[in-house]
Structure 1
């Protein structure tokens, strides 16, 4: 497809912007709610023309911009300590990043063995049957299968269940753009205060700005809240490699949503109350369940009467018609990423680029530990 025949703004370069490295937040703010907040509100003129009003504040004041009976939908997935810092018998360091527990086990002469998949760095000199050591050599994991040479994934086994292994020896899996080792503080701050469903390999970062006091303030104002679970995988860091954004294949992620949460969402839609997604993960789930909201019959919950388990690979790009959400709380995202493209679908590419340029000029902090943005659609 040549440039003349492709759709307007379908080229990946149309979603690029210059981001100074100094604005990539390497540490969280002293307090969760001390991050800055950029508010973007859609307005309608007398001839139904759309415009956006933008202002700045602190996140601790977000209750001033939401209304009683608004429904905030949070992702309560909990980040697991997925990174294991191992050593070979020779003393060489090896990083093992657990991506999936196989939920299988077997017995050998040493007892019960539990299996998991993990990325290995560096993999070049890793051999099948090799033991990698933790805890000053007192604990080890074994390489069971190397798979293919061009894959960083290996199959491992250990004598501890995977979640127990990670709970005991794992460290916080900070994203690749944070150029430092994790600290004890990260185990608290790279986690939302309401996280209670272990499974994510990266934090749903929009929720990092909330603390218990702010949540109480919102509840006292009459803001309703609901929770769902989407476990964030490493696919969230996958770059778009295609020239045309429409050709990108989105990764698939599991999500869980209770009947109670679905009932709240249905009631909010019926009563024309705003539904505000806290984070792009919550938004992607909400926009994936439109058909389920229309069909709340028993068959939806046939296997799990209280919780629906499904998957989504929804890819939201300009031209998408939002069916469920009326607003979004989100951080500032990478150029040419699916998350920035999602924002462009919500408020338009030119407006998104304009807002990001202003944010950069005003030294807003970007990515996981960065500042926040509240987008409110016109209803």
Structure 2
């Protein structure tokens, strides 16, 4: 039995064989396996994502995160010496000013200049932050984001070691709002046709935006879960989406978040507005772990997450600790594929 007031990071550990970490996406997108789990009982059904429609009803609402991943990893050289540098764009501070991770960091002192893509993009370090990240001011003759798309690479998580052949496979088919450092991976399973088929059967689709930060990969280092501090991410929820959520609730439909980022957006909005869903935008550092009282969610589509991560803690909060750890045990035994390009779970209130 989990002691909610004294949770340890190790409570959320499970043993994962290396070969179960998915290195490449499946084709087609919706051919991934899906473990459907009854939120109340923990009962497990094995299926595939293309059969998602079998578990949804007319009047249900899927909430998707439409954030688009930046090809934020760029390689270049120091302007004066030609020595190698790698930048990873973390957060836009103003027009051409970004917070970045860079390596080797010792080469990136204040005032140092770098060039990328044969000079298509240039940057100067203007500040060094306490955590070692830098602030860089960029110069670009063409459109900055078009240039980034041309010379940049997708910032795949560190556990994916194979080169991605097609950039679009690390984007959802509905990605629209540019700004994420990592993909909202639960949405990678959808095809455009599947979304149309769901709409045709009366399932409604709404969108939120939460720009996924690199902190999503940051491990929990503290032994006591409650000592962990979450990273900050920007979110936006429109009037149209707020109305659709409220209408769904009023009519007895289920609100199903696609991904932990959509979940965090919905529950942040509710937490900031006395349980109400209203249009708003801002930053959230919400940390969802067992004991959290959900105000919006009736269902969750999510991938299988890293041991001891904040994401498996969120799933445990929604489905129950014992149900979650049992589902992960079954997933390992049944050789499901894990993490960003892996298989998924549909956790649903019946």
Do both proteins adopt the same fold according to a TM-score greater than 0.5, normalized to the shorter chain? yes
In the TM superposition, 1:153-164 aligns within 5 A as 153-160=134-141, 162-164=144-146
Q: Distance in 2 between matches of 1:215 and 1:149?
A: 44
TM-score (normalizing by structure 1): 0.85
Where do 5+ consecutive residues of structure 1 fail to align? Answer: 1-5, 44-50, 105-113, 301-306
C-alpha contact (below 8 Å) 2:99/2:133 kept by paired residues: no
Counterpart position of 1:169 = 151
Question: How many angstroms does 1:163 deviate by?
Answer: 2.5
Counterpart position of 2:106 = 124
In the TM superposition, 1:296-375 aligns within 5 A as 308-375=280-347
Counterpart position of 1:134 = 116
Write out per-residue CA displacement over residues 91-139 of structure 1, whole angstroms, 9 at most, x where no aligned residue.
43211011122324xxxxxxxxx3322111111233443332322x333
Counterpart position of 1:206 = 186
Counterpart position of 2:42 = 52
Determine helix, strand or coil for the equivalent of 1:180: coil
Counterpart position of 2:88 = 97
Q: Distance in 2 between matches of 1:249 and 1:52?
A: 29
C-alpha contact (below 8 Å) 1:131/1:140 kept by paired residues: no
C-alpha contact (below 8 Å) 1:97/1:118 kept by paired residues: yes
Distance 1:42-1:134 versus aligned 2 partners, 3 A rule = closer
Determine helix, strand or coil for the equivalent of 2:114: strand
**1:84 counterpart = 2:106:** no
Distance 1:286-1:102 versus aligned 2 partners, 3 A rule = closer
Write out per-residue CA displacement over residues 179-231 of structure 1, whole angstroms, 9 at most, x where no aligned residue.
13343x1x111000011111111000000000011111111111011111111
C-alpha contact (below 8 Å) 1:116/1:162 kept by paired residues: no
Counterpart position of 1:247 = 227
Q: Say which one has the larger Rg.
A: 1
Q: Distance in 2 between matches of 1:294 and 1:26?
A: 39
Question: How many angstroms does 1:53 deviate by?
Answer: 1.5
Q: Distance in 1 between matches of 2:270 and 2:78?
A: 50
Determine helix, strand or coil for the equivalent of 1:168: helix
Q: Distance in 2 between matches of 1:333 and 1:16?
A: 11
Task: Name the Cα RMSD after superposition.
Answer: 2.0
Question: How many angstroms does 1:350 deviate by?
Answer: 1.7
Q: Distance in 1 between matches of 2:334 and 2:267?
A: 32
C-alpha contact (below 8 Å) 1:229/1:255 kept by paired residues: yes
Q: Distance in 2 between matches of 1:327 and 1:132?
A: 47
In the TM superposition, 1:281-300 aligns within 5 A as 281-290=261-270, 292=273
**1:275 counterpart = 2:255:** yes
C-alpha contact (below 8 Å) 1:117/1:156 kept by paired residues: no
Q: Distance in 1 between matches of 2:203 and 2:237?
A: 20
C-alpha contact (below 8 Å) 2:67/2:178 kept by paired residues: yes
Q: Which segment is superposed worse, 171-180 or 323-332?
A: 171-180
TM-score (normalizing by structure 2): 0.92
Determine helix, strand or coil for the equivalent of 2:59: coil
Distance 1:236-1:149 versus aligned 2 partners, 3 A rule = closer
> Which residue of the other structure, out of 19, 25, 29, is the alignment partner of 2:26?
29
How many residue pairs get aligned? The number is 345
Q: Distance in 1 between matches of 2:129 and 2:100?
A: 13
Question: How many angstroms does 1:278 deviate by?
Answer: 0.5
Q: Distance in 1 between matches of 2:121 and 2:112?
A: 10
Determine helix, strand or coil for the equivalent of 2:187: helix
Distance 1:131-1:10 versus aligned 2 partners, 3 A rule = same
> Which residue of the other structure, out of 55, 60, 73, is the alignment partner of 1:65?
55
Distance 1:189-1:12 versus aligned 2 partners, 3 A rule = same
Counterpart position of 1:74 = 64
Q: Distance in 1 between matches of 2:24 and 2:65?
A: 22
